Amino acid sequence: MANGGFPFQMSMLTKNNYDNWSIKMKALLGAQDVWDIVEKGFNEQYEASLSQGVKETLRESRKRDKKALFLIYQSVDEDTFEKISNATNAKEAWDKLQTCNKGVEQVKKIRLQTLRGDFERLFIEESESISDYFSRVLTVVNQLKRNGENVDEVKVMEKILRTLNPSFDFIVTNIEENKDLKTMTIEQLMGSLQAYEEKQKRKLNKRRLWSNYYNST
């Protein structure tokens, strides 16, 4: 829905911001003096049997409800609008959005808890290369980000350094003592560890060659 015609910026509902959106919308609807009618709703009545004073109150409530409903419509995209387009009043529209998005939020929270556990359990395997380990770590990190987690890159690098096997102790100590992780990127860290890994492989191959040479003489 369009935002045109308002002297303020509407907060738009997305797949990932329901909690923040609802807080902002409550403030906006309150400022427009219509939040109470969204929260409590109002009883539609047949006017013919009502006194003039009650009719005027009902018409005012109906007007305020339509204003609230319109503001809600203005804060959602077309796909979400289809979910609430049949709502007869603002409370019904609000409740539908809450039901839909709270379910999504709950699923996301459960998914995040699982992914956080996966991240904490990450540890390089005995014969795993640095490249493969980084791929595993970044797969989990990217999934966390896609589910709305704000992942600190320094925390990721500290996790990697902390979970390498003992053969990397020398380079890990060197990086921790001489490098500021805040000025490094994950790619730079991977490059340093891969270079060290390659040196270790060459040393191991040399030892094997010399061992085979001596054993054959």
* Mean pLDDT for the stretch of residues 66-91: 95
Amino acid at 171: I
The confidence score (pLDDT) of residue 122 equals 97
Question: 13 pLDDT band (50/70/90 cuts)?
Answer: very high
Answer for the pair 62, 42: CB distance below 8 angstroms, yes or no.
yes
pLDDT at 54: 80
pLDDT band, very low/low/confident/very high, at 166 (cuts 50, 70, 90): very high
Rounded mean pLDDT of 64-85?
95
How would residue 64 be classed by pLDDT, with cut points 50, 70 and 90? very high
Instruction: State residue 173's pLDDT score.
Output: 94
3-state secondary structure of 94: helix
Distance in angstroms (rounded) separating the CA atoms of residues 198 and 151? 29
Q: What is each CA distance from 147 to 5, 137, 140, in whole angstroms?
A: 34, 16, 11
For the chain, what percent of residues have pLDDT higher than 70? 89
Residue whose token pair is 């409590």? 40
Assign 57 a pLDDT band (cuts: 50, 70, 90): confident
Structure tokens at 132: 């493969």
What is the average per-residue pLDDT within 84-98? Answer: 95
